[in-house]
Amino acid sequence: MFADFLKRLTAPAPDQLADDDARLALGALLVRVAKSDEHYDDIEAMRIEQILGQRYGINSAEAGQLRSQCEELEFQAPDTVRFTRSIKDCVPHEDRIGVVEDLWSVVLADGVRDADENSLLRLVANLLGVSDVQSATARQKVQAQQ
């Protein structure tokens, strides 16, 4: 189901992502970060659904379906480095800072900042072209909203 999408996403010069593809790519990245501590629970899944619902203006049932598709895509997606760099090439910088805020929101959803999550988020932010300072600011913003 996702083979064609993954092929396009990881092409040497990927095109701008279509809206549906961008939703899948962001959702899969959210899932990957949530799973990085090897403890993917309902709180994180619900937070991903909230993010997808808010970001794309969809209801909870649609967000749940989208999250399920994103979980499947994440499972099939290539390594994080290739996957994230492909997203970077398709998403404007100002939108990538918002993505990092969403990623922090998922990491912090269960109340535990795991070393593996911190490590992966630092890598992902860097691959998205978001500096450590911008990522820390994004984390602080998310923490202040919780």
Q: What is the pTM of this model?
A: 0.85
Nearest of 31, 37, 43, 34 to residue 2 by alpha carbon: 31
Please determine, for residue 1, whether its predicted confidence score (pLDDT) is greater than 60. Answer: no
Mean of per-residue pLDDT scores for the chain: 87
59 Cβ contact list (under 8 Å, min separation 6)? 53
In this predicted model, which residue has the larger pLDDT, 133 or 93? 133
Please answer whether residues 114 and 104 qualify as being in contact, where contact means their C-beta atoms are separated by less than 8 angstroms.
no
Return the CA Rg of the chain: 14
Q: What is the pLDDT of residues 69-124, one digit of tens each?
A: 999 989 887 678 776 876 787 778 888 999 999 999 999 998 888 899 999 999 99
What ranges do the domains of the chain cover?
18-145
Report whether 67 contacts 49 (CB < 8 A).
Answer: yes
CB 25 within 8 A of CB 9: yes
Percent of the chain past pLDDT 90, that is, above it, reads 61
**CATH dotted code for 18-145:** 1.10.3680.10
